[in-house]
Amino acid sequence: MKTIPFVFLTLFFILPFDSRSSAASVSGKVVEIHYGAGTSNPAYQVTVTLYRMNTYLDRPDGPKVASFITKIDGLFHFENIPKGEYLLRVQGVKSWGPDLGPELDKRISILKDDEAVEPETIVIDYKDSPPGG
């Protein structure tokens, strides 16, 4: 009879302290359209930054939460993000010079701790800036 209470107490104390995170994740894809091209391709080496929003001032508040540089597939992923309002900023790179390319902002709301947020594909449009101009 002593085994049953021991097992029950062990489970009682271990289960509430599960090491798995219940925070949310944000993931998605960035594609780009280059000048003169009719189709989009995955955006390579594009910086995707997540900022916490100040809901009273409707702007990013303080330092960035996390930053990610896309690989050849154009995908990005952030983990362990707490509930709240965020700004996802995507910064392209000009292939014809050292300057940064187009910048896109997208608002994201995380309503639940374990939510997996996947915004629509983000398109960086380089069509408006031809090479050399």
Whether the CB-CB separation of 127 and 32 falls below 8 Å is answered with: no
The pLDDT score that the predictor gives to residue 13 is 45
68 SS3 class: strand
Query: Where are the chain's structural domains?
Result: 23-125
The pLDDT score that the predictor gives to residue 124 is 82
- pTM, two decimals, is 0.71
CA atoms within 13 A on the CB side of 96: 8
As averages over each run of 10 residues, the pLDDT of the chain (133 residues) reads 49 44 87 78 91 77 86 96 91 62 84 91 72 48
Both tokens of residue 8? 């029950």
The pLDDT score that the predictor gives to residue 54 is 80
Please give the CATH number for the structural domain made up of 23-125: 2.60.40.10
The pLDDT score that the predictor gives to residue 48 is 94
